[in-house]
Structure 1
Amino acid sequence: MPTALAVPLAVADTARIATLGHTADRLTIRWSDGRESPYPAIWLADNRPDRRDRPEGQRLFDAIDLPDGIAIRTAVLAADGTVEIDLAGFETPARFSAAWLRAHALDPASRTERRRRPVLWDSSLALPTDDYAAVAGDDAARAAWLRRAYDHGFALLRGVPTEPGTVCKVVELFGFVRETNYGRLFDVVAVDKPQNLAFTAIGLGNHTDNPYRDPVPQLQLLHCLEAAAEGGESVVVDGFAAAERLRREAPDAFALLTRRAVPFRYVEPGQIDLRSRAPLIELDAEGELAAVRYNNRSIAPLDLDPDEVEAFYDAYRRFGRLLHDPDLTVGFRLAPGDLFIVDNQRVLHGRRGFSAGRRWLQGCYTDKDGLTSTLFSLEATR
């Protein structure tokens, strides 16, 4: 363990430093709340603030250019509250703010706090709803709406003007429209000779859109211009909540769905033949949920070892039943001027069939980086 050096308490933006200690290869900070955070010497050298073009900006050198034999010679708490570290191989000490060190600490608790923790939900969800005029005219309201969409993978806007094309203007509040073969935007309305079952009046099971693309569109927005007099209710379900329930109740089935890629395909003869292979449940490097794909209309014949087919179908069907379980799904009726956004890699949406009147939605796709960039920038300035 490093030798602790008693130092004055320093007030930082997020925590106060109680003590500093170091060996040649590691700095250790004990914070006033009792947390202890280690910082390896080479990591400190790679993150020197004077080697960036601006705070949190781009590095001015490559890690391969770091000198060999990096070691901590001294580490002290300066009068201005920064931590001054003299590293072998560098001519001048590096100065780190206490707030920056706390925000990027490598102890397990700090690393866990930085990971995204989606808010899982079921049929008891109170619909996360905001007003379009407020969101369009006020940064705090826009941040609150984006935060709901980010945390839940789903959010509603009321009072959106019913002028055709407005859905694209809503995207411009945080990002850019992703154009596909359906165009910048598409109409979801019953037509006489549909190429896609979405353009009919029949009910649609819960699904994610376009799993046959690589990459899939990450966010979808649907804006109601006209509502059917009877039927046509929208349905959403948190695919992550369903997947976590499957993980708890049937871990072998969950693991099988994460290990095996399945083929998806969409064809318009002579014009389009889109294909992709991916697992129904995708995990990140740490075993956390990264994406869910489910679309019974677009899944192609499974390409599996014959001895695994029965077990896979058991897992696939069990997951599908969870994705349509009334205890997990939320139904709501869109009125003209209502718009919802879904994380297309997490939240499935569907609709009930309709028979009376015309139901007209306009939709478009966009990517998550626009939403997250705008959200984090707005929150950082509040």
Structure 2
Amino acid sequence: MSITHPSADQSRDVRIGGEIRISRVEDVREDRLDVLWSDGGRSQYWAHWIRLRATAAGLFTGVARNWSDGANFHPQQRLVSESDRIERAHTAGGGAYLVVTWRDGTSDRLAAPDIWSAEHDDPARRIERKTWSSTKTWPSWDFGPLIEDPSREVLLAFLTFYLEHGVALISNVPRRVDSLARVAGGIAALAPSHLGDAFDIRTTDNPKHIGEVAAGIPLHIDLVYRQFPPSVQALHAINQIEDGGENELVDIHHILGQMAPEDIELLSTIPVDFVARSTSVHFRGRHPVLQFDLDGNFTGVAYNQYKISFPPSVPPAYYFAFERFRRMIHAPENVNRMRIPQDAVLVFDNRRTLHGRRSFRDTSRHVIGCFLSDDDLRSRYRLLAEAASGGQLA
């Protein structure tokens, strides 16, 4: 990257690698303009944002240059000015640059990949979710090239599949109680909970959590009663049984496509309580059952019929929407049933995938579970995706 410092008689030149090109600039107004990209896409940019993007680059020098990952303004700079009015704009260098001339007579020259990256520079956000139902079969990744003697290509393929589907399977994991920690270390940082770094899931005469019983467990997400439930969960089958104990998985991203818009509206705008109370803990989380970010993207589900508590303010229509949701998640065509293979680790998105378990009689069944950092997992994916594209914008 080369940067020239801004001055009244010199265009500011911000260059980064990439082959992103601008086809043309359209609808140029004093406060905004439209860019038509070489791939046919269109973006609108406000004048103040363009000014900030261009001016800040020349201000980041010394220590600030190393700290300014993704920043588009410098602490020394004024955010807005009445002089930030566009006089005209055009492309240069065969679409490699956007050149904006301002009403005060100055001009800015920004590399097309630089402004494009402001919207598209997160490869994890560009992952297209792939929905699944009862008929989905799951491929597996071998422990050796994924964890023991890791291959960047194998890990990228695994993380890509996980981010697409919210579920991924690792096979041939050594039958040791510490193997799950090795798997976790190769994928993302551990996210300890009140259950510890890892926790046993096997029957006991004095169960401390529902996983330690042989009875069936209804669909839920784990730790829904926390203010920030964990996003990634892993389960290692240390000793699997042949009859019963199958896991049941439901893809809520698939369920959303079956729901009426008014039901989604109710379940995403009205929060309910989830409570875990015993002699040792008292957790309370308040969440909408369906959660979306400010861009309208689905971010998670909150559901556990044993922990949910409806506030008195919940309107009658909510209960009917909730009941329709319950029927959908339990419909046989939506429930994917699998028994985690012996010596395999199942990794799944605890915020996207409801999971449950069928009852069993053979109490030798032994599974170890843990939670992982979603932020760390996505960080590793971004680094691998960027390396695979040669550091260019993918």
**TM-score using structure 1 length:** 0.84
Alpha-carbon distance in 2 for matches of 1:38, 1:254: 30
Partner residue of 2:145? 134
Q: CA offsets per residue over residues 186-233 of structure 1, 9 Å max, x none?
A: 011111111222111111111111110011111111111111232111
Partner residue of 1:163? 176
Q: Among residues 297, 302, 317, which one is paired with 2:306 in the alignment?
A: 297
Alignment of 1:30 onto 2:43: no
Residue identity opposite 2:22 in structure 1: I
Alignment of structure 1 residues 106-145 onto 2, 5 Å? 117-136=128-147, 137-145=150-158
How high is the sequence identity, in percent, across the aligned residues?
26
Residue identity opposite 1:122 in structure 2: S
Structure 2 unaligned residues grouped into runs of 5+: 1-16, 389-394
Alpha-carbon distance in 2 for matches of 1:186, 1:45: 52
Q: 1:64 to 1:207 in 2, by over 3 A?
A: farther
Structure 1 unaligned residues grouped into runs of 5+: 1-11
Answer yes or no: is the 8 Å Cα contact 2:292–2:298 preserved in 1.
Answer: yes
Q: Among residues 258, 278, 283, which one is paired with 2:292 in the alignment?
A: 283
Partner residue of 1:273? 282
Residue identity opposite 1:43 in structure 2: W
Deviation for aligned residue 1:297:
2.1
Alpha-carbon distance in 2 for matches of 1:279, 1:36: 34
Report SS of the residue matched to 1:354.
coil
Partner residue of 1:82? 97
Q: 1:124 to 1:64 in 2, by over 3 A?
A: farther
Alpha-carbon distance in 2 for matches of 1:42, 1:60: 11
Q: 1:332 to 1:59 in 2, by over 3 A?
A: same
Alpha-carbon distance in 1 for matches of 2:267, 2:38: 45
Partner residue of 1:187? 200
Answer yes or no: is the 8 Å Cα contact 2:99–2:110 preserved in 1.
Answer: yes
Alpha-carbon distance in 1 for matches of 2:381, 2:29: 39
Report SS of the residue matched to 1:47.
helix
Partner residue of 1:96? 110
Answer yes or no: is the 8 Å Cα contact 1:235–1:351 preserved in 2.
Answer: yes
Partner residue of 1:50? 58
Report SS of the residue matched to 2:333.
coil
Q: CA offsets per residue over residues 91-131 of structure 1, 9 Å max, x none?
A: 7x54422223334469xxx99x9666422211122314222
Answer yes or no: is the 8 Å Cα contact 1:263–1:277 preserved in 2.
Answer: yes
Q: How many residues align?
A: 359
Instruction: Indicate the RMSD between aligned Cα atoms, in angstroms.
Output: 3.0
Answer yes or no: is the 8 Å Cα contact 1:131–1:158 preserved in 2.
Answer: yes
Alpha-carbon distance in 2 for matches of 1:123, 1:229: 20
Deviation for aligned residue 1:63:
9.4
Partner residue of 1:16? 21
Answer yes or no: is the 8 Å Cα contact 2:203–2:363 preserved in 1.
Answer: no
Deviates more, 1:361-370 or 1:46-55: 46-55
Alignment of 1:258 onto 2:275: no
Q: CA offsets per residue over residues 313-337 of structure 1, 9 Å max, x none?
A: 3322221221121101111122222
Deviates more, 1:256-265 or 1:116-125: 116-125
Report SS of the residue matched to 1:225.
strand
Q: Which has the higher strand share?
A: 1
Report SS of the residue matched to 1:122.
coil
Residue identity opposite 2:23 in structure 1: A
